[in-house]
Amino acid sequence: MSLVNAGVVVLDCAEPEKLAMFYKELLQARETDVTANLVQIRAADRLRLAFRRDANATPPSWPRPENSLQAHLDFLVEDLDAAERRVVELGGRPVEAKDAPGPYEERGCSDPAGHTFTLRRIPQAGPKQG
């Protein structure tokens, strides 16, 4: 038996109920624990996220250095365009980063409270080229 069985990523925010709803809808998750200051959700793939009330929470400023990332989440998706549209429908927004590298196989976004995350295309298994 392992000493630590599972972890939870916790995001501080002013309104945990609203932020939990954003991620609950985005990940098609369910609430597992709700208290006055914490809402926890679990996605179908067992990912657990929690949202803790902090009246003084300030959004990260990434890509500007002054408040940096604080936390960063990556979500694997098959269709970047559809996933980005869903983020916007739920109240999130795309984050434009200067000098984004590569062939845009990922997109930066932020949730309604300003926490950034990345939508990353699931690598397609295909025949090897060359």
Domains and CATH numbers, the chain: 9-121 (3.10.180.10)
CA dihedral 99, 104, 110, 111 (to 10 degrees): 180
Q: How confident is the model over 38-49, as pLDDT tens digits?
A: 999 999 888 899
114 residue type, one letter: G
What is the distance between the alpha carbons of residues 55 and 17, in angstroms, rounded to a whole number?
13
**Does residue 128 register a pLDDT over 90?**
no
The pLDDT, as a whole number, for residue 84 is 92
Mean pLDDT of the 87-99 span: 84
Amino acid 4: pLDDT? 46
Average pLDDT score over residue span 12-37: 92
Q: State residue 40's pLDDT score.
A: 92
pLDDT confidence tier of residue 51, bands split at 50, 70 and 90: very high
Helix (H) or strand (E) holding 79: none
The DSSP output letter for 37 is S
